[in-house]
Amino acid sequence: MTQKVLVIGCGIAGPALAIFLKRIGLEPIIFEAEESPNDYAGLFLNLSRNGLRIADELGIANEIVKEGYRMQIMRMYNGKGRLLGEISDRNKEVQGYTIKRRILHKLLREQAERQGINIVFGKRLVDIQMSKNKVEVTFKDGTTISGDMLVGCDGIHSKTRQCIFSDSPTPSYSGLISYGGFSTSKDLPYEHGVQNMIFGKKAFFGYVVKKSGEVYWFGNLTYEGSPTRRELMSIPQEKWKKFIEELHIDDPVPVRQIISQTKGDIGVYPIYDILSQPIWYKGRAILIGDALHATSPNAGQGAALALEDAMLLAKCVRDNSHLEEAFKTFEILRRERVERIVAYSRKIGQKKYATNRVQVFFRDLMLPIFLKATNKQSLEWIYDYKIDWNSVITYSKQ
């Protein structure tokens, strides 16, 4: 039985996996490149109900509900403010919750610490060496540590992936950037569970209004080249704010109001994804979460998929003493689902934009019909996917 597990990354997948591994009697240690917990850590994300079920198993679902914004209805407007329609789950389970990324990170990290899991900061991975029975990692500070198993949970630009699979596909730029921030408003109405999405004249815009009056907002824009986050954030904040205000100057009044009343910095991020990763594991090392199958945010599934990975991998290791067979079973059970969701999310992103009057006309004409059909069609394959912690996995030899 594997004993010491080296977990690289303390975002979402890493702490969740460590908690499940600890539960099955293993000794996980989390290594994070950052020098200390990041109190900002991005903007916000959607944790859909398939991920919320895993959070419940981890013991943090109640805090997510308390801190987050309920997602129940998505309303779509055109660039003139006309309601095109809505996607609604009024009579079903909540779709999920919108929550600040830093809060979700903190909830997971603190839950791991309560379980006695060691989290070591300031450990930037530089090399991985494997033998038949051990895996050894070297960090930038010169320290090394060995374990029985290694899991790369270090995000889309994973150093673990680079070390293990030097010729693996690099993340693919979607052609879009995402920007957003937090605002406050006394004028915008609070509508329980409602998300507002606007097909602006030049860019897509979305927002939710919390009961406190705090507004979470974001925009998506086509952007040439293959920008990095560092490159985008090197542009001064005042230039970004002016650019974004001008970008939405012809959009409905709430949009301009929200942007102008933004508190703090505006975050700007390029959207990359990984449509398919041919190799998921090698020897005693495996990837999960964004390191393996990063998805664009359009379907709101990145965090949920990371939590699903964590729970299922722990189950596979628990139910099979042969590590390679456990890894292989994990891949067989996960590959089709995650690749389908990544492709679906990219497809949604490509439909957000209409660049000329003819496209706008047909989008506004057809979207209400599409939304009615969406309300009738089932997305249960995404939201109602369930993993039963207590069931036993029978490994496959495919």
Ordered domains of the chain (ranges, CATH): 4-171+274-383 (3.50.50.60), 172-273 (3.30.9.30)
Residue 297, strand partner residues: none
pLDDT in tens, the chain (398 residues): 569 999 999 999 999 999 999 999 999 999 999 999 875 567 899 999 999 999 999 999 999 999 999 998 889 898 888 888 887 765 567 889 999 999 999 999 999 999 999 999 999 999 999 999 999 999 999 999 999 999 999 999 999 999 999 888 889 998 999 999 999 988 899 998 999 999 888 899 999 999 999 999 999 998 999 999 999 999 999 999 999 999 999 998 899 999 999 988 999 999 999 989 999 999 999 999 999 999 988 888 999 999 999 999 999 999 998 999 999 999 999 999 999 999 988 887 665 555 555 454 444 544 454 555 555 556 788 888 999 999 999 755 54
How much is the pLDDT for 396?
A: 53
For strands 262-273 and 214-222, give the pairing.
Answer: unpaired
How much is the pLDDT for 394?
A: 79
DSSP 47-104: EEHHHHHHHHHHT-HHHHHHHSEEE-EEEEE-TTS-EEEEEE-TTS---EEEEEHHHH
Is 372 in a helix, a strand, or coil? helix
Confidence (pTM) = 0.92
How much is the pLDDT for 362?
A: 42
Q: Residue 287: in which H helix or E strand, if any? A: strand 285-287
Instruction: Tokens for 71, please give them.
Output: 């997602």
Q: How far apart are CA 161 and CA 179, in angstroms?
A: 27
In sequence order, what are the residues at sequence separation of 6 or more whose Cβ sits closer than 8 angstroms to the Cβ of residue 287?
151, 152, 158, 160, 161, 164, 277, 280, 281
The packing angle between helices 302-318 and 323-350, to 10°, is 170
How much is the pLDDT for 350?
A: 63
Task: Quickly count: other Cβ atoms within 10 Å of residue 373's Cβ.
Answer: 9
How much is the pLDDT for 179?
A: 95
Instruction: Single out the residue of 175, 176, 160, 260 nearest to residue 217, CA to CA.
Output: 260
How much is the pLDDT for 372?
A: 56
The one-letter amino acid at 31: F
What DSSP designation does 300 have? S
What DSSP designation does 262 have? E
List alpha helices for 140-194, DSSP H: 159-164
How much is the pLDDT for 363?
A: 47
How much is the pLDDT for 381?
A: 86
